[in-house]
Structure 1
Amino acid sequence: MSKTQERVDAVSSNGVPHQGRVAEPVTPPRVSARRRRPGVIALSLALIAAGGAGVAVLLLQVGNRTEVVTVVRDVQVGQVVTEDDLGTASIALDPAVKTVRGDDLDSVVGKQAAVELKPGSLLTPSQVTKDSLVKAGEQLVPIGLEPKQIPATALVPGQKVQLVHVPAQGAADTGTTSAARPATIDGRVVKASGAAPGTGIVVVDVATSAQDGPTAAAWVASGTLRLVLTAADGS
């Protein structure tokens, strides 16, 4: 063997590849597959199902809309409701909410407003009436109340009241004792205005019997009338 061949074999024995030899492919490290957890998978499926159910309910609510009657202009108590006072809107309505359906709009036109109607509100059946707010055999007495005479409880149409006659300040003794029961007249609120700018006076229209109307009007003129709210049960 020649010296040259020995030198080549010596280099090869030291781990240096012969010139021109093709290197073998490197095997990549084995990566173990991630273990799937059944609980996580079940939770993911449940969340997906819940999300899909929520979307379905939302779509049903959006699609299940009802046309109802709305108020588009101010209508005072006792005023006849016209078609121009009303409009319609399509909303998702809770069955527990009592409203006038759009198909029944014509049925409320011509009725009187039992309460003050405000634009932007939904019309309910109880807010209108076909009956006159002042019934046969009644008279309407307007009563002006100063701020100190206005009850903290809001006066609303239909509220039962008593008109009480009180002695005027400085009036002469009529011979009656202070313990005598004052004269009273039963009435019913038909309408209450807002407080007048500057004075704060509120005008309340009270329906009384025809025979008591003139007496109540006289008490108002003399400043000897006071308005008292009656209990809801009439006692």
Structure 2
Amino acid sequence: MPTPPRRLGARRRRPAVLAMATALIAAGGLGGAALYNSSGQRIAVLALARDVPMGQVLSPDDLTVAHIAGDPALHPLDAQDLSRTVGLRATTDLKRGSLLVKADVTSDPATQPGQQIVGIAAKHSQLPATRLQPGLQILVVNTSDGKADGPTTRTPDTMTAVVAMVGRPDTDGSTVIDVAVGPADGPRLAQWVASGKFQVILAPRTAGGS
């Protein structure tokens, strides 16, 4: 009795089916990877490299570039805005590691037209314990003796000013504060600062501008 021929066609189809299945699985994996890369795309944005107090002008050392996953809920400034952001003032206290958004900075000047800026290098004992911030109204008191005749106590000279910027404390504990005063008061305040005999106090909240 003759032996029936082998079904070569069936065996040949099996490797083809396996190859097609493998190709489909690989294609599915590549598609998934592409979808993951698309949804997890990282963008370059601006972040804070160190703490920046409110009112301080941003320098290149204050900023860094961070790469984060794109999220429509986040609106940080793009890394390409770095050169335009340097020189702007902080509108609030900025913390190291946080992302920088448009509302965090402003180009508005810290002083009014006609005002003069005087730098006050003050020791911690010459400043109130309350941390000074830009926009806060203060009184600078001249504490020199004045060489008044007799035992009569003379009312010390005072000057109203507005804090424009607060620098970082130096190694000796002193802090430089830029204050805005009227055009007639700048030279007089500079003399008080040069003598080192002055005290900074907080102005009453109800006090008007000078």
Same fold (TM over 0.5): yes
Number of matched pairs = 167
Query: Structure 1, residues 114-164: CA drift from partner, whole Å, max 9, x if none?
Result: 367564222244532212224421211111222322321112222221112
Following superposition, the deviation at residue 67 of structure 1 comes to 8.5
Following superposition, the deviation at residue 210 of structure 1 comes to 1.6
CA gap 1:111/1:146 in 2 versus in 1, 3 angstroms: closer
Matching of residues 115-126 of structure 1 within 5 Å: 119-126=96-103
Question: Is the Cα–Cα contact under 8 Å of residues 77 and 101 in structure 2 kept in the other structure?
Answer: no
Following superposition, the deviation at residue 234 of structure 1 comes to 4.2
- Amino acid of the structure 2 residue aligned with 1:223: G
- Amino acid of the structure 2 residue aligned with 1:209: G
Question: Is the Cα–Cα contact under 8 Å of residues 81 and 108 in structure 1 kept in the other structure?
Answer: no
Matching of residues 62-211 of structure 1 within 5 Å: 69-72=46-49, 78-79=56-57, 85-90=63-68, 100=76, 102=78, 105=81, 109=85, 111-114=87-90, 119-168=96-145, 171-174=146-149, 177-178=152-153, 181-197=155-171, 199-211=172-184
SS at match of 2:139: strand
User: What percent of counterpart residues are identical?
Assistant: 30
In 2, the alpha carbon distance for the partners of 1:192 and 1:78 equals 7
SS at match of 1:172: coil
Normalised to the residue count of structure 1, the TM-score between the two structures is: 0.53
In 2, the alpha carbon distance for the partners of 1:192 and 1:90 equals 32
**Pair 1:214 & 2:190 matched:** no
Question: Is the Cα–Cα contact under 8 Å of residues 165 and 224 in structure 1 kept in the other structure?
Answer: yes
Normalised to the residue count of structure 2, the TM-score between the two structures is: 0.58
In 1, the alpha carbon distance for the partners of 2:161 and 2:97 equals 32
CA gap 1:110/1:202 in 2 versus in 1, 3 angstroms: closer
SS at match of 2:187: helix
- Amino acid of the structure 2 residue aligned with 1:131: D
Q: Which residue of 2 aligns with 1:13?
A: none
Gap runs ≥5 in structure 2: 1-38
In 2, the alpha carbon distance for the partners of 1:69 and 1:222 equals 43
In 1, the alpha carbon distance for the partners of 2:75 and 2:139 equals 33
Q: Which moved more, 1:65-74 or 1:152-161?
A: 65-74
SS at match of 2:125: helix
Following superposition, the deviation at residue 204 of structure 1 comes to 1.4
